[in-house]
């Protein structure tokens, strides 16, 4: 039997010590297939049209939204971070994980000490003990008081791996909280930029509607005089109706955006006190940081959270492995035993018990091996999820970089179109004053000028929004971390015994 047990233990040890494959991370040196330009194009004479430079390795401030130089935006982000129910939930989950770890640490690192106090009524028949009489009368009372100590020796690291798994869960919840803060700040900034854009779009649309109403009045007067065809009036009414139809949707979007901002800051929409945002009050960051792709995994909290889950899955493999080996438990009890409560702790009533137990799993129907294989599969799943989220992070940065380049070129063309429209308007105004152009024609030129202003506003807002998206995609406020694949405690991503 001893030989069989030794063979089985050796086989289990050989199976259990198989190393786990590390997570495969991309080794790309660039975010995009082609090189990233050093700076974007500029749109001269346009607020928000200046050049933006990409600075490699520059740190992002912890309060990265300050780069937009808007006190109202800074205050709204502060309120959101302070009052958001979403962050309150994440913070509570972190505290729960910390207390779960503390509870497990207290249960495994130190001996368990318990005090017991009991009373029993006992009746024993002498014949059941093979005697005619007993030296004491029955039934009788038996009182006892004792202090027991027990300790489970962590011979093969099951408790250690369990604690490290719980610590990894704490890390994961901490990074989840950071990720929630980053997402909330990004949502507030993006919503504020969108609100500023909508306000300018609404103003431009209202001016276009006013111009079209004036044109329609001219056409209707000319129609009455017989110098304009009925189809001209119908076409003008159609154009006016289309412009009017666009206005309620823009206003709806603005109101819903304000409702969302109220929710972000922990306020009810009907009772929220929110500032108004305008693009003219926001500054476009002149410099945008750009870290190396290899550093992104150390900067984004969602990637760090996935890494913590990978660490936790690896520690679960360690627990399942340790359960294949012997378990040693020592126990001791010291107390007093008496037939009268008043005699407890008296002379001759003391007793003690010392015990030790050693258990080695031999046959559990393949349960323990299956549990370890399941833990290994869970680790492989976590490794794949970690790899996927790293790739997603690289894609996010690559997409925003290309968007920023396209935004700058788009704004450049929109600004050029607006400049041409203004020049056309100046020429038309001079001709109108000289009597060479009708008021109807001048109003049409003004309408086209307002339309180019509308397009330019959208292009400016896109630059602001994508600048915020890049800061968010890079992980918000970050500093250079230690190189290599270590987690927040400096441990390798995976080392399983």
Within-domain flag for 157: no
Confidence of residue 300 (pLDDT cuts 50, 70, 90): very high
Six token digits for residue 490: 């400096």
Radius of gyration of the chain (CA): 37
Q: Which residue has the higher pLDDT, 11 or 318?
A: 318
Within-domain flag for 169: yes
Within-domain flag for 43: yes
For residues 321-338, average pLDDT: 87
The separation between CA 62 and the C-alpha centre of its own chain, rounded to angstroms, equals 16
Strands 53-56 and 287-290: parallel
CB 84 within 8 A of CB 265: yes
CB 175 within 8 A of CB 136: no
CB 291 within 8 A of CB 298: no
Residue 372, number of CB atoms within 10 A of its CB: 23
Within-domain flag for 38: yes
Within-domain flag for 404: yes
The answer to whether the pTM exceeds 0.95 is no
Widest Cα–Cα separation across the chain? 139
Total of domains in the chain:
1
Strand-by-strand arrangement of the 140-153 sheet: 112-122, 140-153, 327-338, 350-359
Q: First vs last Cα of the chain: how many Å apart?
A: 28
Domain that holds residue 193: 22-109+164-324+366-473
Within-domain flag for 387: yes
Confidence of residue 317 (pLDDT cuts 50, 70, 90): very high
The separation between CA 385 and the C-alpha centre of its own chain, rounded to angstroms, equals 15
C-alpha 66/C-alpha 60 separation (Å) is: 10
Within-domain flag for 9: no
Within-domain flag for 224: yes
- According to the model, what pLDDT value does residue 136 have? 66
DSSP line for 405-440? HHHHHHHHHHHHHHHHHHHHHHHHHHHHHTTSS-HH
- According to the model, what pLDDT value does residue 496 have? 37
- According to the model, what pLDDT value does residue 343 have? 77
Give me the CATH number covering residue 43: 1.20.1600.10
Q: Which residue has the higher pLDDT, 151 or 432?
A: 151
């Amino acid at each position: 039997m001893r030989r069989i047990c030794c063979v089985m233990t050796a086989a289990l040890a050989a199976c259990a010590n198989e190393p786990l494959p590390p997570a495969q991370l991309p080794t790309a040196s660039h975010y995009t297939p082609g090189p990233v330009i050093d700076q974007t194009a500029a749109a001269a004479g346009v607020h928000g049209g200046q050049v933006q430079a990409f600075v490699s390795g520059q740190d992002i401030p912890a309060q990265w939204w300050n780069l937009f130089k808007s006190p109202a935006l800074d205050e709204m982000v502060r309120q959101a971070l302070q009052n958001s129910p979403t962050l309150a939930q994440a913070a509570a989950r972190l505290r729960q994980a910390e207390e779960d770890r503390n509870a497990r640490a207290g249960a495994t690192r130190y001996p368990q000490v318990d005090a017991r106090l009991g009373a029993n009524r006992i009746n024993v028949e002498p014949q059941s003990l093979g005697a005619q009489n007993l030296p004491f009368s029955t039934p009788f009372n038996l009182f006892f008081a004792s202090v027991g100590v027990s300790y489970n020796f962590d011979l093969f690291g099951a408790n250690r791996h369990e604690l490290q798994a719980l610590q990894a869960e704490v890390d994961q919840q901490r990074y989840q909280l950071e990720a929630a803060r980053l997402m909330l700040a990004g949502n507030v900034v993006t919503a504020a930029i969108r609100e500023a854009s909508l306000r300018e779009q609404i103003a431009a649309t209202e001016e276009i509607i006013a111009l079209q109403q004036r044109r329609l009045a001219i056409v209707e007067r000319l129609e009455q005089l017989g110098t304009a065809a009925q189809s001209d009036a119908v076409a003008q009414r159609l154009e006016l109706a289309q412009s009017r139809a666009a206005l309620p949707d823009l206003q709806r979007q603005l109101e819903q955006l304000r409702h969302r901002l109220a929710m972000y800051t922990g306020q009810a929409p009907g009772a929220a006190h929110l500032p108004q945002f305008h693009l003219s009050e926001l500054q476009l960051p002149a410099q945008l940081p750009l870290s190396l792709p290899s550093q992104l995994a150390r900067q984004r909290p969602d990637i760090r959270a996935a890494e913590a889950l990978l660490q936790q899955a690896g520690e679960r493999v360690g627990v399942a492995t340790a359960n294949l080996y012997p378990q040693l438990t020592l126990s001791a009890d010291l107390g007093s035993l008496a037939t009268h409560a008043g005699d407890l702790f008296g002379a001759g009533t003391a007793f003690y018990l010392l015990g030790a137990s050693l258990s080695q799993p031999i046959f559990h129907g393949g349960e323990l091996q299956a549990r370890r294989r399941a833990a290994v599969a869970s680790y492989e799943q976590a490794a794949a999820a970690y790899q996927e989220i790293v790739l997603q992070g690289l894609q996010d940065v690559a997409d925003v970089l290309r968007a920023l380049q396209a935004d700058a070129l788009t704004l450049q063309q929109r600004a050029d179109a607006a400049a041409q429209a203004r020049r056309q308007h100046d020429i038309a105004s001079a001709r109108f004053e000289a009597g060479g152009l009708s008021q109807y024609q001048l109003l049409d030129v003004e309408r086209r000028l307002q339309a180019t202003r509308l397009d330019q506003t959208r292009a400016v807002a896109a630059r602001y929004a994508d600048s915020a998206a890049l800061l968010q995609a890079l992980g918000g406020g970050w500093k250079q971390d230690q190189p290599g694949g270590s987690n927040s405690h400096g441990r390798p991503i995976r080392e399983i015994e």
